[in-house]
Amino acid sequence: MGEDDNQEHRMDDFSPSDLKTILHSKRANLYYLQHCRVLVNGGRVEYVTDEGSKSRYWNIPIANTTSILLGTGTSITQAAMRELAKAGVLVGFCGGGGTPLFAANEVDVDVAWLTPQSEYRPTEYLQYWVRFWFDDVKRLDAARAFQQARLARIESLWTSRVMKDAGFSISTDHLHSALNHHREAINKAPSTVDLLTLEARLTKTLFKLAVNAVDYGDFTRAKRGTGTDPANRFLDHGNYLAYGLAATATWVLGIPHGLAVLHGKTRRGGLVFDVADLVKDAVILPQAFISAMRGDEEQEFRQACIERLTRTESLDFMIDTLKDVAQALGSGEA
Give the CATH number, domain containing residue 13. Answer: 3.100.10.20
d(CA 102, CA 310): 23
Kindly report the backbone phi and psi dihedral angles of residue 40, in degrees, each rounded to the nearest multiple of 5, phi listed first.
-100, 125
Per-residue pLDDT at 207 exceeds 90: yes
Nearest residue to 287 (alpha-carbon basis) of 237, 243, 223: 237
Residues 32-79 have pLDDT tens digits of 888 889 999 988 999 998 877 788 888 988 888 888 888 888 899 999
Q: How confident is the model at residue 96 (pLDDT cuts 50, 70, 90)?
A: low
Domain that holds residue 209: 124-330
Nearest residue to 308 (alpha-carbon basis) of 162, 141, 178: 162
Q: Once rounded to an integer, what is the mean pLDDT over residues 87-108?
A: 54
Residues 157 and 223 in one domain: yes
Residue 101 lies in a domain: no
State percent of the chain over pLDDT 70.
80
- Residue 228's Cβ-count burial label (10 Å; 0-12, 13-18, 19+) is exposed
Q: Which residues are 93's β-sheet partners?
A: 70, 112
With beta carbons less than 8 A apart as the criterion, state whether 269 and 54 touch. no
Q: Once rounded to an integer, what is the mean pLDDT over residues 242-256?
A: 85
pLDDT, residue 265, reads: 54
Per-residue pLDDT at 17 exceeds 70: no
Q: How confident is the model at residue 267 (pLDDT cuts 50, 70, 90)?
A: low
Q: How confident is the model at residue 7 (pLDDT cuts 50, 70, 90)?
A: very low
Q: How confident is the model at residue 141 (pLDDT cuts 50, 70, 90)?
A: very high
Q: How confident is the model at residue 116 (pLDDT cuts 50, 70, 90)?
A: low
With beta carbons less than 8 A apart as the criterion, state whether 45 and 60 touch. yes
Residue 112 lies in a domain: no
Q: Which residues are 33's β-sheet partners?
A: 70
Q: Please tell me the total count of domains within the chain.
A: 2
pTM exceeds 0.95, yes or no: no
Residues 148-196 have pLDDT tens digits of 999 999 999 999 999 999 999 999 999 999 999 999 999 999 999 999 9
Residues 58 and 142 in one domain: no
Answer yes or no: is 277 a known binding residue: yes
Q: How confident is the model at residue 268 (pLDDT cuts 50, 70, 90)?
A: low
pLDDT, residue 244, reads: 83
Residues 89 and 155 in one domain: no
Answer yes or no: is 257 a known binding residue: no
CB atoms within 10 A of CB 4: 17
Write down which residue in 43, 78, 93 finishes a domain. 93
Answer yes or no: is 263 a known binding residue: yes
Residues 294-306 have pLDDT tens digits of 999 988 998 899 8
pLDDT, residue 27, reads: 72
Nearest residue to 250 (alpha-carbon basis) of 49, 41, 62, 92: 92
Residues 218 and 319 in one domain: yes
With beta carbons less than 8 A apart as the criterion, state whether 102 and 236 touch. yes
